Each structure stands twice: as structure tokens, then as C-alpha cells.
Chain A
Amino acid sequence: MNKNGPLEYDYSVSKLFIMNALFVGTIGMLIGVILAWQMAYPEFNTFLGEDLAEYTNFSRLRPLHTDSVIYGFVLSAVWASWYYVGQRVLKVSMAESKTLMFMGKLHFWLYFAASAVIVASLLMGITTSKEYAEFEWPIDLAITVVWLLWGAGIAGLVGYRREKSLYISVWYYIATFLAVAMLHLFNNMEIPTIIATSPAGETMIGAWWHSVSMYAGTNDALVQWWFGHNAVAFVLTTPIIAMIYYFLPKESGQAIYSYKLSLLSFWGLMFVYIWAGGHHLLYSTVPDWMQTMGSIFSVILILPSWGSAINMLLTMKGEWQQVASSPLIKFMVLGSTFYMFSTLEGPIQAIKSVNAIAHFTDWIIGHVHDGALGWVGFMVIAAIYHMAPRIFRREIYSRSLMNMQFWIQTLGVVLYFTSMWIAGITQGMMWRAHDEFGNLAYSFIDTVTVLHPYYTIRAVGGTLYLIGFVMFVYNIYKTTSAPRVEESDLQNASPMGA
């Protein structure tokens, strides 16, 4: 920043996180595509040869895919957007405080270092085997420090603010911080085995990094899915809503349809989401009332979710020509539509009788991906497209490339979830089918044979989405050397080259 010039927003931390999101996003989705082809053609489990099979098989790569897209790609984009949106809606620049700037950069570099350790440890097969919380205790401690640094950064910016009220997006970012802090701490209560003593009196058991959960059996499952479902809520939903509440109004130049609706949807979502995790454990050893509660709260969850989604769609009221003319708005409107769609699909799957068919099937994988690819992915892409011209002071390199990317990725998402719907329901029906004496009609391998074409279609869908993502990364890369634009061109609709 020019010391003698007028005060400006400083996006240096945001830029670091954007670069990381693009890099990790590409790798994480590439691993996802490899996994999809492995499901369709198992010989891909050894695509680097038998000697390296340990590192290329499905089970070793699967947590790398989930953790890198959730905590690498999405979290980086969320933080990039926080360090961008936070300054703007609070009307305070990071450049005004050396401490805040130092904390922001430390936040990024510690996160980057922890991510590198996570990748290495997962590749080596070091894992607690808790889904989406596979990291051993030293990494959990590092994550806590990274998370607290972000929290301190939020408190710092909020403390310096010129705008008294907090914009709705800031509420969602704060909710993300508080909820994930709680989820991370309670789900990762663990004892390093070197300080434990076994019933037989053994001490110093196992490697120094190894730990065991403080919970056991059904309790462990309950805590795990309270965590797991709320990781979806507070990493893949609330910060993404924070993003759309800023980027859609700003890009379209339209005020939020109803700010009051945004407030009550916020409180509705906060109250309801935290109770819904029990739906992951339907028909398990968890108490029946808890399963029912998980189902009921999942269904109620439609209301606040649709409150936000409809609010966003109505924000475009009278301005629908923008959807046709701007690929950036297209990403956000389709993202919001996919949000409505997956927040209807989820509650349907959480109804006990539907879950009897859906549980453990590919329909669940389809549900996750229409949310992750259609809602989260599209919103992150739109946010980065909006931020890039403002950060680099250049127009977006190519509108036509962006349009092409939109249609390729949309086709990818549609192929992905439709194939998984058919696969999942087929699977569920075949597992349950029995003859008049109660003997199962099919063995497991019968379902695998039937599902093969759908797995292939899913892999094609995933590959299309990845191709679109690479086009996106290329478009952003070329944006860094595109023609310069004036500040006055950046008010609302982002400037784009042909």
C-alpha cells in the first residue's frame, strides 16, 4: 500500500489463500477423479505399478480426496473470502494494523505447513480412522492454533471496524469459527498411546503420534457424527452462505431481497442444524429417540435453508437478464438452486423409511456431491472470479472460457448425481430383495456388476467437472496479466474480456 496515498483495502492475505485454493482444489479433485475411475475399473488401484500400490489404492487416497477438498480447497476459499469481505463490510483495512496483517500471514503459513504435514501423514497411512478427522494429535493441536489465529483475526477486524452493525455474512463467518472450534475440540478428545497403560500393564504403546479416542462404541459414533454432520454445516454451508450473501448482491448491484429474512434464517439454521447429525446413525445402536430427533430436525432444516436460498434467488427479482448475460451470476444462481435441491434431498434421505433404502448406498455419495460440486464448488468459483479483478486490478481474462466452463461443469454435476441416484436406489433395492423364505435374492457382487455402468458415468461426470476446474484456474492465471481496469469499473458487475 502507498503510505502517502489514500487508505485502501489490503488483499495480500486473501491472495495467498486464493492461490492455495486453486492449487489444492485441482489436486483434490484430481484425486477424486482417480478414485471414481478406480471404482469403475479396479485395475486403476495400481496405476503406478504394484510396488507403489500402497500409495495409490482407493482406501489410502480416499481421505486425501475428502480432506483436501474440504479443508484444503473450501477452507482456503472461505478464508480468502473472509480476508476480502471482512475488510469491506466492516470498512476497515488490514493495512491499518501491522498486528492484524502479521496474524493474517501467520494464519496462512501455519495452515500451509499443517496442510503439508497432513498430506504426508495421510499418504503414509497415519490416521485415527475417524472420518474427516483422520489427523493424529500433534496435527490436531496445530489445527487448533491455526483456527484460533483466524478467530483472533476476526475479533481484530471487528474491533477496528467503522461500521457498527455486523453484515449478515460476518454473522455466518463468526458462527463458522465458533461451531468448528467446538466440533474440533470435542471430537478429537484423544489419549496418546505412549502415555496410556493397557489393562495388561504395558506402557509406551505404539508410535509417539498415535492416539485413541476418549469415547468408545456407540458414544464414539454419536460424537463422530455430531462432528461429521456439523462439519458439513459449518465448513460447507454457513461460510458459503456468508459468501453468497456478499458476492451475489455485490456482483448484481441488487440489495438483498429481505435483510430481515436473512436474520431469521440465520438464527433458525443455528438452532436446528446442530441437532440433525443423528440421521447418520439411523438403524444403529444409538437410542431410538435420538434417531427420531435427528430425522425430525433434518426435515425442519428445510425451512431456514430455503429461507436463505429463496432470499438469494429473489434478490435477482426483475434482474433475471443478468443471469443470461453474466456467467458469474450464472454460477451463483445455479449454486443457490443446488443448495435448495440438496437441502431438500438431505431431509428426504433422513426420513427413516427412505433411509432404510438409502443408507450405505451411492445415493448418499450423489447427495454429497450435488451439494459439494453444485453449491459449494460453484459458489467458491464465483467468489474467486469476483475477487480476482479487484485484487489484481485487471479484467477477468475470458468471458467465453467462463461460459464454457459453466456448461461443462454443470453437465458434469448432472451426470454425477443422476448416475448415483440410480446406482444408490438400485443398490438399496437389491440388498433388501429376498425370496418367500427370507433368503437374500442377490449377493454383493451382483450389485457391483449392475452398478458398473453408473460408476463409469459418474467418473465421466467427475472428469468433466475437473476439466472445467482446470479451465477456471487457467482463466484466473491469465487474469493476472489481463488489461488493467479502473477502480470505477469494479463497482458491481466484474469486467471481463471476450
Chain B
Amino acid sequence: MDIAQLQAYGYFIMTAGLAIGLYAYIYHLYSRRKDADGVDYENYSNMALKDDIADTPVNATSSKKKK
């Protein structure tokens, strides 16, 4: 197998891998609906809507810093 063939296989495997990865990510997002912290992804929109410094964070870094 020469270098051009290796490149071609490498390119195909990488593209297929990334495409499968992206679809797996979509499947994961829509089937789980919540991230590892148990927060519904859609709630993260509130990071923009409730963004006063005194507002409660959607998912606080630590309870100590919670306002």
C-alpha cells in the first residue's frame, strides 16, 4: 500500500468517524435531554435571560458562591 492509498483510507475513516460522532452526539442530546449534572439543556437559555449578577445561576459552580 503506497502513501496515497494510506491517505485515502485515513481520510475516509476520519470523515466517517467524525460524521458518526456528530450523529451520535445529536442522538445523545435528544435522547438524554439532560447533561451530566442533571440540568435540562434547554434551561441553559436562562443564562442569558436571567443574567443579573444577583440572579440565581442555572448551574452554580459551588454552593458557596451561590447568590
Contacts and interface: CB of A to CB of B under 8 A. Distances in A.
A and B part of one assembly: yes
A241 B48 CA distance: 14
B49 A250 contact: yes
B45 A249 contact: yes
A6 interface: yes
Contact of A163 (B29, B41, B47): B47
Contacts of B18: 271
Interface stretch (A20-28, A88-96, A401-409, A469-477): A88-96
B66 A256 contact: no
A161 B59 CA distance: 11
B53 interface: yes
Among A165, A169, A255, max chain B CB count under 10 A is at: A165
Interface stretch (A67-75, A220-228, A260-268): A260-268
B23 to A, nearest CB: 10
A89 B41 contact: no
A8 interface: yes
A253 interface: yes
Contacts of B42: 255, 258-260
A263 B22 CA distance: 11
Given A260-B30, A263-B29, A161 B44 contact: no
B58 A165 contact: yes
A253 B67 contact: no
Interface in A261-295: 263-264, 267-268, 271
A168 B45 CA distance: 9
Contact of A88 (B41, B43, B51, B65): B51
A1 to B, nearest CB: 11
A162 B67 contact: yes
Contact of B22 (A88, A246, A253, A271): A271
A98 interface: no
B56 to A, nearest CB: 9
B47 A167 contact: yes
A268 B58 CA distance: 25
B60 interface: yes
A91 B45 contact: no
A202 B16 CA distance: 52
Interface residues of A, number: 32
A162 B67 CA distance: 9
A89 B42 CA distance: 15
A165 B44 contact: yes
Interface string A160-192: 011111011100000000000000000000000
A91 B48 contact: no
A9 interface: yes
A160 to B, nearest CB: 9
A88 B29 CA distance: 26
A253 B66 contact: no
Nearest to B43: A259
A381 B51 CA distance: 22
A454 interface: no
Contact of B29 (A161, A162, A264): A264
B35 interface: yes
B55 to A, nearest CB: 7
Contact of B45 (A7, A9, A255): A255
A249 B49 contact: yes
Contact of A259 (B25, B37, B44, B67): B44
Contacts of A416: none
Interface of B: 18, 22, 25-26, 29-30, 35, 37, 39, 41-49, 51, 53-55, 57-61, 65-67
19 contacts: A6-B54, A8-B53, A88-B51, A162-B60, A162-B66, A163-B60, A164-B61, A165-B44, A245-B48, A246-B48, A250-B51, A255-B46, A256-B48, A260-B30, A260-B41, A263-B29, A263-B41, A264-B26, A264-B29
Shortest beta-carbon contacts, A-B, top 5: A255-B45, A88-B51, A167-B47, A163-B57, A256-B45
